[in-house]
Amino acid sequence: MWCFRRKKYSHPSYNHPPPKTFMSPNPSDVDNLSQSYDHPPPPKTIMSPYPSDVDNRSQSYDHPPPKTIISPNPSDVANLSQSFHALSIHPSPASSVISAPSILSTPTPTPTPPPPPQNPTTTTPRPPIPPFPLPTPPRCRTCDSPGTLNTVRPNNRNNNGNRPYYTCSNCKSTPALLARNPQKGWITWDDDTGVDAANAACFCGWVCRQDRAGRDSPWAGKGFWKCAVGRCGYVSFREDGLTDEEVRKLGLASWHQGFEPTLV
């Protein structure tokens, strides 16, 4: 049986390894470390409050300071009581009071305002009554000549005896003008017969005159309205005083038979 023997290496690093080197600490570090373990650091210092603060805090919890109530000025109290007294006697109008809406409360109906006062009936100013006798002779509407004053004979059969009237002498003396003159030279009466303040107004602005048709007229004895001074062509055969043009505008039935006169 063969027995082998381990051969030793001849290299000195294997046969004799170098010893391990330990690094010794610095003596000052060792001293500090030993001191840190032998003598631990002092405990942390806790700052305690001052005794006065502790006393004040304990007093604040045990005996809280009383609440200071500022009493109102006596003059303000008097004014406030007067205002409440005035409101109780003379409450403010409902329009100035703003109340919070409430679901349970029934809404108060708004009062209906009273109707505005009706204006008093304005009376339409009545047209004036012309003065008679006329201060100046009226002028003819056909030739613009001044009229001539005449007087009706006393025995007139139309009951117009002694009444003054105006005619146009120029038209009556000129056949061409007379043919153009619808009144055949007639202008107007110079008195207030048939003139009343209740009559309608003519185109001149005066009250008109109520007259009666003569016996030679197709509607003899019937009444009609005409200008009281002969200045305009106003004429109406209706009792209400409407002219033919006004009747056509209003769509009324034409009526030219006259009416029963009451003022002449």
Q: 194 versus 218: which is more confidently predicted?
A: 194
What percentage of residues in the chain have a pLDDT greater than 90?
Answer: 36
Q: Which two tokens stand for residue 23?
A: 């690094």
* Under 8 Å between Cβ of 228 and 165: no
**Does residue 255 carry a pLDDT above 70?**
no
Q: What is the pLDDT of residues 33-83, one digit of tens each?
A: 555 555 556 666 656 555 555 455 555 555 666 666 666 666 665 665 665
Q: What is the pTM of this model?
A: 0.53
What percentage of residues in the chain have a pLDDT greater than 70?
Answer: 55
Provide the CB-side half-sphere exposure for 35 (13 A, CA): 8
Average pLDDT, the chain: 76
pLDDT value of residue 118: 67
pLDDT value of residue 109: 72
- 210 exposed, middle or buried (CB, 10 Å; 0-12, 13-18, 19+)? buried
**Does residue 204 carry a pLDDT above 60?**
yes
pLDDT value of residue 185: 92
Which whole-number Å values give the CA distances from 257 to 12, 34, 119, in the listed order? 176, 156, 41
Q: 146 versus 70: which is more confidently predicted?
A: 146
∠ CA 49-52-54 to the nearest 5 degrees?
55
pLDDT value of residue 17: 60
First to last CA, the chain: 195
Confidence band (pLDDT; 50, 70, 90) for 19? low
Q: What is the pLDDT of residues 82-133, one digit of tens each?
A: 655 555 555 555 444 444 444 455 667 777 777 766 665 556 788 999 999 9
* Under 8 Å between Cβ of 231 and 204: yes
Beta-carbon contacts of 149 under 8 Å, excluding residues fewer than 6 positions away, are 137, 164, 165, 166, 190
